[in-house]
Structure 1
Amino acid sequence: MIRVVACLAALAIAAPALAAPAMAEPMPKHVGDCAKTKVARIETRLIDGDGKPVAGSGSAVDFVNGGYQVSYDQVAAIDASRPGDPAEVCLVSVPKGCPKGDHRGKIYKTVNLRSHGQWTLPDAEHSCGGA
C-alpha cells in the first residue's frame, strides 16, 4: 500500500510535466497574420564545429512552433529572452520572385510577452535566391 501511495504521489508531481507539449500556433503564412508561440532556444547566429556559440556573431532565436529568426547583429531583446517565454510573431513581409522551393527571406516582427522586448528580423541569413 505504501508503494502505491508513493507511486501516486510521484505521478501527481510529474503530471504537469507529462501534459501535452507547449501548445503553439503555426507560424503565420499571410502578411499581417500573427501567431502565439514560445521561445524554444536563444542562440548566437553562428555555432562552431564543437557545437559552441560563436560570441559576437549575432543573435538567433528558435520557437517551439518551428519558427526561427536571425540577425548578424546582437539583438538585446533576443538576448534578454529565455526559453519558455511566450511570444507573438507576426509576418511583416514575404519576398517576391523567389526561385521555386526557396522560401527564405520572410520578415517577422516578434514581441516577447514576458519582457515586452521586440524585434523585426528575417527567418534566414539570406533572402531567397541569395547565398
Structure 2
Amino acid sequence: MRLSCAYALALLSLAGPAVAAQPPGLPKRVGTCVFSTVRNVSARLEDGSGRPVPESGTSISLANGLYGVSYSRVAAAQNARRGDRVLACLVSIPRHCPPGDDRGRIYTTTNLRTMESWTLPDSQHMCGGA
C-alpha cells in the first residue's frame, strides 16, 4: 500500500505505533510515500581501512532499499539511528534519462523519532552523469 505524504503523516498521527507495516519497495510516483526503518547511517566515503570519512558527506540506507547520499554533512540524517522508523516520500524523478539509468530520484525522508526531515538524491550523480 502506497500513501500520499500528507495522508501518511495524518494517518500516523492518528494511529501512532499501530501503523507499523512497511510496504515493500520504494515509492514509484512523485508524491507517494512509504514507511521503512533506518538500516545504516554513515559518511559518503570510507578510508582505506573501512572507517567513515566524516568530511566526505552523508550516506543513509533504509530497510526497503532506499539510499540517500550527499557531498555535504546532513545533520538531520546523521541524527538518525539504526532501527528508527521513517516516512520516505518521492519528490522528484529526473527526465530524459538514458534507458536503464534511473539515478537521480530525490526523496524527502522524515525520521518519526526525531521528527527531523532531509531531502537527498539516491545517487551521487544524476542520470546520464559520471
Which TM class, normalised by the smaller chain length? Answer: 0.7 to 0.9
Name the % identity.
Answer: 50
Shift of 1:79: 1.1
How far did 1:81 drift? 0.6
Find the counterpart in structure 2 of residue 24 from structure 1.
22
Cα contact 2:36–2:88 (8 A) shared by 1: yes
> In 2, distance between residues paired with 1:43 and 1:55?
8
| Within-5 A mapping of 1:52-131 | 52-131=51-130
How far did 1:23 drift?
Answer: 5.6
Distance in 2 separating the partners of 1:78 and 1:125 = 16
8 Å CA contact retained: 2:31, 2:89: yes
1:5 aligned residue: none
Q: Quick check: which has more Rg, 1 or 2?
A: 1
Distance 2:96 2:76 in 1: 32
Structure 2-normalised TM-score? Answer: 0.81
**1:24 Cα deviation (Å)?**
2.9
Deviation for aligned residue 1:47:
1.6
Task: Give the letter for the 1:28 counterpart.
Answer: P
More strand, by proportion = 2
Question: CA-to-partner distance for each residue in 1:48-79, whole Å, 9 max, x for gaps?
Answer: 23221112110110000111001111011111
- Equivalent pair of 1:94/1:105 in contact (CA under 8 Å): yes
- TM value normalised by structure 1: 0.80
Name the structure 2 match of 1:12. Answer: none
Does the 8 A contact of 2:54 with 2:73 survive in 1? no
Give the SS at the match of 2:56: coil
